[in-house]
Homo-oligomer: A and B are copies of this chain.
Amino acid sequence: MIALEEKIRKEGVVLGNSVLKVDRFLNHQIDPKLMFEIGQEFTERFKDKNITKILTIESSGIAPSVMTGLILNVPVIFARKSKSLTMVDHLLSTSVYSFTKQQQYEIAISKSLINEEDELLIVDDFLANGEAAKALIELAQQAGAKISGIGIVIEKYFQQGGNMLRSNGFHVESLVQIESLNNGDIKFCHKMEVH
């Protein structure tokens, strides 16, 4: 997705050799117009699926998910990381390890929101080692729902998450794939590129 790649080139910041900071348009400040374009792109890439709901995780998955949900006209459910007094329903839960926050945490969804008839699109901002995606898959499977696809805004292709998900048969669409972040330089994968 060209507009996203340009935005990353312009405003992304590399920290170390593996962390890409996109706090100026996705993870802290959000560019709503870009999020809408991301929603259009996910809609196009999953147009042959009969998606009934989008499943994501708070907080950075919410903006791209809600724009995709607006265009697809389906609800968005975000898995929650901390319990609220209002979460009194039966819960489905699992645990996730976050490398960027360096901690293990539980995520949960209300059991009543997803069922066996749902065909889910899982959406997240990043795919690195696949920890968050695996946890969302686990919740979807606990609910008995079908997973129609996994939409990722930025895939760090040099980490193992994408490979792990694809080799398990999931349809993963990443709007950009990053080949490496070595020496502060952002290299994108271009499947069609002539070397």
Contacts and interface: CB of A to CB of B under 8 A. Distances in A.
Interface residues of A, number: 46
Interface in A61-92: 62-63, 65-67, 69-70, 73-78, 80, 82-89
A35 B54 CA distance: 15
A86 to B, nearest CB: 4
* Total copies of this chain within the assembly: 2
A70 to B, nearest CB: 4
A28 B113 contact: yes
A77 B32 CA distance: 10
A195 interface: no
A165 interface: no
Contact of A110 (B23, B36, B70): B23
Interface in A18-47: 19, 21, 23-25, 27-33, 35-36
Nearest to A101: B84
